[in-house]
């Protein structure tokens, strides 16, 4: 049971992060109908791609990350594409966590001891770097505690927001912009594929399916609850990170609690994704441990210092394009692995399901790119 909880905690801790804070804003922009249709597409696509990646881990005897699996099963060109896609996704994710997590930590600490924004970012960065250096098992155990606190925090915020919560605010949500950013942010908010090999470390391979399903479903429910809380309290104005506008309707103590919750939600994901980047550089590209650690931690910080701080745009592009490419590659890898090692497979995915997932991800990438250049 403990191994199962550690596995689910690692996955939920990766998924429930900064993407959740972007969902209320893009939901208000896209409207309920659009977000419902997008969710009906995204939720099964995410679950199936994560399950396929877990299958790849089971079918492959050697330890690797997505680029390594792509190279092993699909060839060198696929390995390059996988590395570029996952590297961009991991760096973009870590950047978003630094931006929002550092901001939340600054506001949390400033209630007691005023500090500048860079101070909060520095503390967030250094604390994460120390835990990443200690390794995945310390991260998993930290997340088991943090995820429990984090889920309880959502409930507490909901209870505190009840006096200001109005169903009329939800009913007032309508289509006001474009749904394409919502697609990318929703993909991002539910994606935890990069940590599947870590999940395999602390779980039994025979219940990887249950771990993946439980992690994705728990993460979706937590995010959906947060969206309902944030939009129900807002009176038509929602900040990009949602927590900023939500805190305006709460007392000082609850505001402090809310920013603490925000720090936990972003910090758990930052820990795991940074560790995944380190392992990808070590195992797939045979870079030394110290060099991998420095690259994984410092590059997002440099990008932040260069002024890349529009986190909603980062979420949308990273989710639709980078993570979409990851999903396509995983489905292709899983098909090849099952074909070559059928005696080791633990479940059967019909070809039409696999092809449908690939098609939907291709459409999502195309629409996001067209929206980014202003065609849509």
Q: For the residues of 268-314, what is the DSSP string, one character each?
A: HHHHHHHHHHHHIIIIIH---HHHHHHHHHHHHHHHHHTT---HHHH
Q: CA dist 21 to 100, 171, 344, Å?
A: 9, 20, 40
Q: Between 174 and 21, whose confidence is greater? A: 21
Q: Between 291 and 10, whose confidence is greater? A: 291
Confidence of residue 73 (pLDDT cuts 50, 70, 90): very high
| Predicted pLDDT of residue 135 | 67
72 vs 87: CA distance, rounded Å: 18
- What mean pLDDT do residues 22-34 have? 88
30 vs 26: CA distance, rounded Å: 6
User: Is the confidence at residue 137, as pLDDT, over 60?
Assistant: no
Q: pLDDT > 70: what percent of the chain?
A: 93
- What mean pLDDT do residues 42-52 have? 93
Q: CB–CB of 285/157 below 8 Å? A: no
| Predicted pLDDT of residue 358 | 96
Task: Retrieve residue 164's tokens.
Answer: 């200001």
Confidence of residue 172 (pLDDT cuts 50, 70, 90): confident
Contacts of 84 (CB under 8 A, 6+ apart): none
Average pLDDT for the chain:
83
272 vs 198: CA distance, rounded Å: 9
Dihedral sign from CA coordinates of 290, 296, 299, 301:
negative
| Predicted pLDDT of residue 144 | 59
Q: Between 280 and 211, whose confidence is greater? A: 211
Confidence of residue 361 (pLDDT cuts 50, 70, 90): very high
Which span out of 69-83, 202-216, 257-271, 295-309 was modeled with the highest average pLDDT? 69-83
Confidence of residue 7 (pLDDT cuts 50, 70, 90): confident
| Predicted pLDDT of residue 356 | 96
371 vs 251: CA distance, rounded Å: 39
User: Is the confidence at residue 241, as pLDDT, over 80?
Assistant: no
137 vs 144: CA distance, rounded Å: 11
- The closest alpha carbon to 333, from 21, 9, 56, belongs to 56
User: Is the confidence at residue 352, as pLDDT, over 90?
Assistant: yes
| Predicted pLDDT of residue 235 | 72
| Predicted pLDDT of residue 326 | 92
Q: Which of 50-64, 213-227, 250-264 has the lowest mean pLDDT?
A: 250-264
Taking residue 207's Cβ as centre, other Cβ atoms within 10 Å add up to 13
Residue 99 burial by Cβ neighbours in a 10 Å radius (0-12, 13-18, 19+): buried
Domains of the chain in sequence order: 2-372 (1.20.1740.10)
User: Is the confidence at residue 284, as pLDDT, over 90?
Assistant: no
| Predicted pLDDT of residue 362 | 95
Q: Which of 209-213, 239-243, 344-348 has the lowest mean pLDDT?
A: 239-243
140 vs 134: CA distance, rounded Å: 11
Q: pLDDT > 90: what percent of the chain?
A: 21
Q: What is the pLDDT of residues 84-103, one digit of tens each?
A: 888 888 888 888 888 888 88
Q: CB–CB of 30/177 below 8 Å? A: yes
Confidence of residue 138 (pLDDT cuts 50, 70, 90): low
Q: What is the pLDDT of residues 252-273, one digit of tens each?
A: 777 787 788 778 777 877 887 7
| Predicted pLDDT of residue 327 | 95
90 vs 323: CA distance, rounded Å: 9
Q: Between 367 and 376, whose confidence is greater? A: 367
User: Is the confidence at residue 170, as pLDDT, over 70?
Assistant: yes
Task: Retrieve residue 339's tokens.
Answer: 């074909």
| Predicted pLDDT of residue 171 | 79
SS3 215: helix
Token pair 């805190």 in the structure block, residue? 247
179 vs 371: CA distance, rounded Å: 10
Confidence of residue 156 (pLDDT cuts 50, 70, 90): confident
Q: Between 84 and 373, whose confidence is greater? A: 84
User: Is the confidence at residue 111, as pLDDT, over 80?
Assistant: no
User: Is the confidence at residue 306, as pLDDT, over 80?
Assistant: yes
């Amino acid at each position: 049971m403990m191994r199962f909880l550690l596995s689910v905690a690692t996955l939920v801790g990766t998924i429930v992060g900064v993407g959740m804070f972007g969902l209320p804003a893009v939901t208000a922009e896209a409207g309920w109908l659009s977000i419902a249709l997008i969710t009906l597409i995204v939720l099964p696509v995410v679950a199936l791609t994560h399950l396929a990646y877990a299958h790849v881990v089971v079918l492959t005897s050697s330890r690797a990350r997505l680029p390594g699996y792509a190279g092993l099963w699909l060839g060198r060109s696929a390995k390059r594409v996988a590395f570029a896609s996952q590297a961009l996704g991991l760096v973009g994710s870590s950047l978003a966590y630094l931006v929002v997590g550092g901001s939340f930590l600054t506001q949390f600490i400033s209630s007691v001891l005023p500090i500048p924004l860079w101070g909060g970012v520095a503390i967030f960065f250094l604390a994460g770097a120390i835990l990443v250096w200690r390794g995945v098992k310390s991260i998993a155990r930290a997340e088991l505690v943090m995820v429990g606190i984090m889920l309880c925090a959502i409930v507490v915020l909901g209870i505190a927001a009840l006096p200001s919560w109005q169903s009329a605010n939800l009913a007032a949500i309508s289509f006001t912009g474009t749904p394409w950013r919502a697609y990318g942010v929703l993909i991002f908010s539910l994606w935890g594929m990069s940590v599947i090999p870590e999940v395999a470390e602390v779980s039994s391979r025979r219940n990887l399916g249950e771990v993946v399903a439980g992690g994705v479903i728990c993460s979706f429910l937590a995010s959906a609850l947060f969206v309902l809380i944030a939009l129900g309290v807002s009176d038509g104005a929602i900040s990009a990170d949602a927590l900023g506008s939500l805190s305006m309707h709460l007392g000082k103590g609850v505001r402090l609690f809310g920013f603490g919750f925000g720090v936990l939600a972003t910090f758990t994901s930052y820990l795991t994704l940074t560790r995944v980047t380190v392992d990808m550089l070590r195992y797939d590209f045979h870079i030394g441990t110290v060099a991998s650690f420095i690259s994984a931690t410092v590059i997002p910080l440099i990008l932040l210092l260069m002024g890349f701080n529009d986190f909603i745009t980062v979420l949308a592009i990273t989710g639709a394009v980078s993570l979409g490419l990851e999903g396509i590659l995983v489905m292709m890898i899983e098909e090849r692995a099952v074909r070559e090692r059928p005696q080791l497979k633990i479940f059967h995915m019909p070809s039409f399901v696999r092809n449908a997932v690939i098609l939907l991800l291709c459409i999502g990438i195309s629409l996001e790119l067209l929206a980014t250049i202003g065609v849509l």
